[in-house]
Amino acid sequence: MATGRTHRPATRSRGIPEATVARLPLYLRALTGLSERSVPTVSSEELAAAAGVNSAKLRKDFSYLGSYGTRGVGYDVEYLVYQISRELGLTQDWPIVMVGIGNLGAALANYGGFASRGFRVAALIDADPAMTGKSVAGMAVQHADDLEKIIDDNGVSIGVIATPAGAAQQVCDRLVAAGVTSILNFAPTVLSVPDGVDVRKVDLSIELQILAFHEQRKAGEGQDDTADEAGTETPAAAAKPARKGPDGDVPAVMQA
Amino acid sequence: MATGRTHRPATRSRGIPEATVARLPLYLRALTGLSERSVPTVSSEELAAAAGVNSAKLRKDFSYLGSYGTRGVGYDVEYLVYQISRELGLTQDWPIVMVGIGNLGAALANYGGFASRGFRVAALIDADPAMTGKSVAGMAVQHADDLEKIIDDNGVSIGVIATPAGAAQQVCDRLVAAGVTSILNFAPTVLSVPDGVDVRKVDLSIELQILAFHEQRKAGEGQDDTADEAGTETPAAAAKPARKGPDGDVPAVMQA
DNA sequence: ATGTCTTTGTGAACGCGTGCACAAAGATGG
DNA sequence: CCATCTTTGTGCACGCGTTCACAAAGACAT
């Protein structure tokens, strides 16, 4: 019904803004580093620098969680680690399934960053019969036919999709039907899910394209002559609105 | 200039909002699909549905690029593909280097999504001498000692970091010193870069943690959460401020 | 106790992004 | 040529997120 929304709908997150939630893992990582070095307390200024954010923003973020600091001193590192972990739901163990064990899926399965937090890879699933039974990251790959049973048996509510784009929506539908309510999508496709299901996507090529945009802008900033058509505010007349397609040989892109 | 800012500074993107730039690749992908199916024109409504966004938002996004539509008809697919490609800088070829050819790096090297757009993997670089010369994705891995020379010879301005967290900042510094001005960072660390260098990060575990937060909220929306159930790594020490003021008043932490 | 000093927590202003709703523009048919 | 219909392009209002700036709160010294 709903077109794939990578955005959360209205999600009145019980007072915690979405932007703040997205930064909590960042703070948590910085705090974990301090904790390992046995640093007892940290000021908002120091922690903000470690997390790469503004200190005022950090303090406001923490204010949504409660008053966990001590004025004149700062924040207790261990205490804050626990509070953020609890808020993020990392004090419990989250079983996840990974579907699509190709290059990327296998790399993700081997990635240690999951287990270090509260996540446990419960199963690796692939549709290719040739993959079934093969060991990846010390775990036997299971066939997609058993997807529903695997999810049910393990009480999985978070799924990771690393299949080719063509298979992603179908896999997504099956995951949702089986009870998964959060999906991390690595396939370059827009997923359609019903309300109540969260989807986050990670798209490698999109990130590169965004970088390319800024890179192009940087290349032509000192002396712009390239792509100067759309440069100024001049509405319309930017190019010729010719119906035809690629007639414009406006490239003129110099590079290197 | 030292503080790592993963955010673009003020980036007065010459009129094009950052949020719009981030969606252009999405539109481009949807349009490419239509193009392959030889669809001549598309309305904002249809294209928005394919890209998973609001149609008004899409129209406003396109309005920043210029007036490329025809009222009463829609947008010419081929023409729009070209315009967006040009705006994103994809009409030229971007050589990129990938540093850190471990599990993830190798998977990224094999990922076809890069080459399909205007990106070309110019070199794979790893610090491990045992990796040097090995073939990954049909390309010989080169040693990190030659990093500067490789970047210079190939005119590389975009780098991908897929090293362990501990090596990321050092690699980043060398890339920047060698002339790289855009970095895609997969290492779970905050990178410090000078002004003028763009950094985008992709952090797998952070995405999962954000999902876990929403998942926890969903699970405990009717009833309060059962965070006490797991209590995995919850040392008593963390349950209260260590410094002092236990008598003071421990802020009402327990919302349960 | 009192004063000073440090740092938090937050009220308020500002800017950006989003979505509505509609007028303008062009296609299409008579 | 005029009427009607479709779809774009955008003015406007609203809400979220960011940042500033400062009062409140506690630590610490005397």
Domain boundaries, chain B: 18-87, 94-202, 212-236
Task: Report pLDDT for A14.
Answer: 62
A6 touches strand C (CB under 7 A): no
Condensed to tens digits (0 to 9), the pLDDT of residues A3-28 reads 333 333 333 346 899 999 999 999 99
Q: Which nucleotide comes closest to A69 if you measure CA to C1'?
A: C8
B205 versus A238: the higher-pLDDT residue is B205
State the nearest Cα–Cα gap between A26 and chain B, in angstroms: 8
Beta bridge partners of B161: B99, B185
Residue A111 pLDDT:
87
Cβ neighbors of A217 (< 8 A, separation 6 or more) are B13, B14
**Cα-flanking dihedrals φ and ψ of residue B76, to 5°?**
-80, 120
B67, B213, B234 ranked by CB distance to A236: nearest: B67
Round to whole Å and give the CA distance between B109 and B86: 25
Average pLDDT over residues A227-233: 37
Instruction: Say what the pLDDT of residue B113 is.
Output: 79
Cβ-count burial A183-200 (b if 16+ within 10 Å, e if not): bbbbbbbbbbbeeebbbb
pLDDT of A231 reads 36
Q: Average pLDDT of A179-188?
A: 98
CATH number for the domain formed by residue range(s) B18-87: 1.10.10.10
CATH code 3.20.20.140 for B94-202: no
Residue A80 vs residues A39, B237, B238: alpha-carbon distances, Å: 12, 12, 8
- Average pLDDT for chain B: 85
Closest chain A residue to the Cα of B94, Cα to Cα: A212
List the single protein residue with the shortest CA to C1' distance from D28.
Answer: A72
Q: Is the CB of A196 under 7 A from strand C?
A: no
pLDDT of residue B223: 54
- Give chain B's residues under pLDDT 50: 1-13, 224-256
Give CA–CA dist B221/A107, Å, rounded.
35
Does the beta-carbon distance from A212 to B76 stay under 8 Å?
A: no
Residue A172 has pLDDT above 60, yes or no: yes
Give the residue carrying structure tokens 């090297």: B109
First vs last C-alpha separation in chain B: 43
What is this structure's pTM? 0.85
Model pLDDT for residues A77-121, shown as the tens digit of each residue: 999 999 999 999 999 999 999 999 999 999 999 988 887 788 999
From the alpha carbon of B249, which nucleotide's C1' atom is closest? D26
Q: Is the pLDDT of residue A201 over 60?
A: yes
10 Å Cβ neighbour count for B11?
Answer: 14
Give the pLDDT confidence score for residue B2 in this predicted structure.
35
Per-residue pLDDT tens digits for B208-235: 999 999 999 998 765 544 433 333 333 3
Q: Among all residues of chain B, which has the CA nearest to that of A105? A: B107
Among B residues 9-48, those touching chain A with beta carbons less than 8 Å apart: 11, 13-15, 21-22, 24-26, 28-30
Residue B102's SS3 state is coil
pLDDT in tens, A77-89: 999 999 999 999 9
Burial of A16-29, coded b for 16+ CB within 10 Å and e otherwise, reads beeebbbbbbbbbb
Instruction: List all nucleotides in chain D with at least one atom under 7 A from a protein Cβ.
Output: 5-11, 16-21, 24-28
Test A235 with B67 for CB contact under 8 angstroms: yes
Residues of A in contact with B238 (CB under 8 A): 78-79, 81-82
